[in-house]
Amino acid sequence: MSRQLHFNLFLHDTGHHEASWRLPAADPYANLSLAAHQHLARVAEDAKFDSVFLADSPVLWSDPGRRPAGKLEPTLLLAALAAGTSRIGLIATASTSYNEPYNLARRFASLDHLSGGRAGWNIVTTAGDAAARNFGLAGQPLHRARYERADEFLDVSTKLWDSWADDAIVADKAAGVHALSERVRAIAHEGAHFRVEGALNVPRSPQAHPLLVQAGSSEDGKDFAARWAEAVFTAQPTLAESQAFYADLKRRVAAAGRDPDHVVILPGIVPVIGATEAEARELDAELDRLIAPQYAIGTLAHTLRVDPARLRLDEPLPDDLPGEDEIEGAKSRRTLIVDWARRDNLTVRQLIGKLGGGRGHRTFAGTPVQVADTIQHYFEHGAADGFNIMPAVLPSGLEAFATEVVPILQERGLFRTDYTGTTLREHYGLPRPANRFPAPKKAALSASAG
């Protein structure tokens, strides 16, 4: 089979444009509605998307006056979505800075069992002092320290998922043996950040390990992705930047001793779709007109680590902004925004308009054919293995993409017309991880079985 696209749906209340909730047809309570999320997941599954994804953070995001700010706990919501779907993958964000490996490994293994092998974990280290203060800390740990903890966190989690052998459960009623005890192992991990005895109290799940996803694009983030990630969500506003990121990360994966084809790179794209190009551009302009600058400036100032009073709407960004090395959170996003503004000579007003649609991801307004052409061009020119689809408006933007763009790509032989597997790993064409622990000697196994 020829190489084909992968699509992940990034679920985000009324849409990724920050003003989408203000449109007349929008449901401003969609962020708290199971029915709204179920509808989106079913539309994506009918269109044969690989997965749906929920972002999350253990902190109230931005000013609640700006847009719907409430976030349901993602693994709980995805467990509910698992009951109403049968094939589509289910990816949730969870922090390595504000969780413990045992609890989180158990949660994702449970979701993988409940969904029949469709769970994925978007691994984040969580930037920002506000989140730290929710966990009794005065401020966030240093950037490098967060990634060091994350690295050990993944080591412990994968050990826990491997603590049960695939064939541990025999359920032999006649012999009165449910599982072979020697096939369940303590991991006895002792490291700089964690001491975990194990074993996990959930047997090895259908995928062995939930799909591991990562989204950080700093130097530490890319090195971490090269070691651990199997899918990468990324944000670049231009083709050239996407090509550079794609080549760099694939090189790092190979240098880490892994197969670059086993890491799927999915840049975000925010499509605004109309029957004509003029119709699409008018919707895009309407959304931008609804942006509330007083909130947008505050968010931009927080990302750039400057006083909001220094950002004047009709002037460019100040020349003396703190550099990437001077901040501890969201380093790659800060650099993306500043480089974009400098390169295109944007005023603050123009910049917040562009960020309002996709927060630095590629935004595109056009017809279904134009959107399909853009996706195909990226895919065939070394910029993407697929896309993180981020409709500006939900549910209408997803419905338009699913019914008008996907069929074009299917006709071109670039996207599946049906699922060929049942697990998320199979959708992404990724192998099931082998168990890192050696099998016990046959003599011991026979004794236990006898």
CATH number at 176 reads: 3.20.20.30
Supply the angle between the helices 219-228 and 239-255 in degrees, to the nearest 10: 50
pLDDT of residue 111: 98
Maximum C-alpha span of the chain: 80
% of the chain beyond a pLDDT of 90: 71
pLDDT of residue 336: 72
Mean pLDDT computed over 198-214: 97
| 385 lies in some domain | yes
Is 20 a known ligand-binding residue?
A: no
pLDDT of residue 233: 96
Examine the pLDDT at 20 and tell me if it is beyond 80: yes
Report which of residues 360 and 117 the model is more confident about. 117
Is 147 a known ligand-binding residue?
A: yes
- CA 153 to CA 120: how far, in whole Å? 16
| 1 lies in some domain | no
Closest residue by Cα to residue 338 from 354, 250, 328:
354
- What's the DSSP call for residue 319? T
Which of 107-116, 140-149, 189-198, 340-349 is least confident?
340-349
Encode pLDDT of 68-110 as tens digits: 889 999 999 999 999 999 999 999 999 999 999 999 999 999 9
What is the pLDDT of the chain when averaged over all its residues?
Answer: 91
Is 56 a known ligand-binding residue?
A: yes
Mean pLDDT computed over 405-431: 98
**Cβ neighbours of residue 405 closer than 8 Å, sequence gap 6 or more:** 271, 273, 368, 371, 372, 375
| 242 lies in some domain | yes
| 353 lies in some domain | no
% of the chain beyond a pLDDT of 70: 93
| 163 lies in some domain | yes
Which is it for the CA torsion 189, 193, 194, 195, positive or negative?
A: positive
Which of 40-44, 200-204, 443-447 is least confident?
443-447
Mean pLDDT computed over 134-148: 93
Tokens of 439: 């099998």
pLDDT of residue 337: 79
Report which of residues 362 and 1 the model is more confident about. 362
Examine the pLDDT at 449 and tell me if it is beyond 60: no
| 170 lies in some domain | yes
Cβ neighbours of 130 (radius 10 Å): 17
Is 217 a known ligand-binding residue?
A: yes
Examine the pLDDT at 447 and tell me if it is beyond 50: no
pLDDT of residue 284: 87
Domain hosting residue 253, numbered range: 6-278+361-449
Report which of residues 142 and 102 the model is more confident about. 102
pLDDT of residue 326: 58
Rounded alpha-carbon distances, angstroms, from residue 65 to 33, 69, 232, 394: 19, 8, 31, 20
Examine the pLDDT at 444 and tell me if it is beyond 50: no
| 12 lies in some domain | yes
Examine the pLDDT at 310 and tell me if it is beyond 50: yes
Mean pLDDT computed over 146-160: 97
Cβ neighbours of 406 (radius 10 Å): 24
pLDDT of residue 288: 84
Report which of residues 219 and 410 the model is more confident about. 410
Mean pLDDT computed over 215-229: 92
Examine the pLDDT at 305 and tell me if it is beyond 60: yes
Examine the pLDDT at 1 and tell me if it is beyond 60: no
Mean pLDDT computed over 308-333: 72
Tokens of 154: 């993944």
Examine the pLDDT at 279 and tell me if it is beyond 70: yes
| 331 lies in some domain | no
Examine the pLDDT at 441 and tell me if it is beyond 70: no
pLDDT-derived band at 291 (thresholds 50, 70, 90) equals: confident
pLDDT of residue 348: 81
Examine the pLDDT at 446 and tell me if it is beyond 50: no
Examine the pLDDT at 445 and tell me if it is beyond 50: no
Mean pLDDT computed over 257-282: 96
pLDDT-derived band at 315 (thresholds 50, 70, 90) equals: confident
Encode pLDDT of 341-391 as tens digits: 887 788 887 777 767 665 667 888 999 999 999 999 999 999 999 999 999
Cβ neighbours of 286 (radius 10 Å): 14
User: How many DSSP H helices and E strands does the chain contain?
Assistant: 16, 13
Number of domains present in the structure of the chain = 1
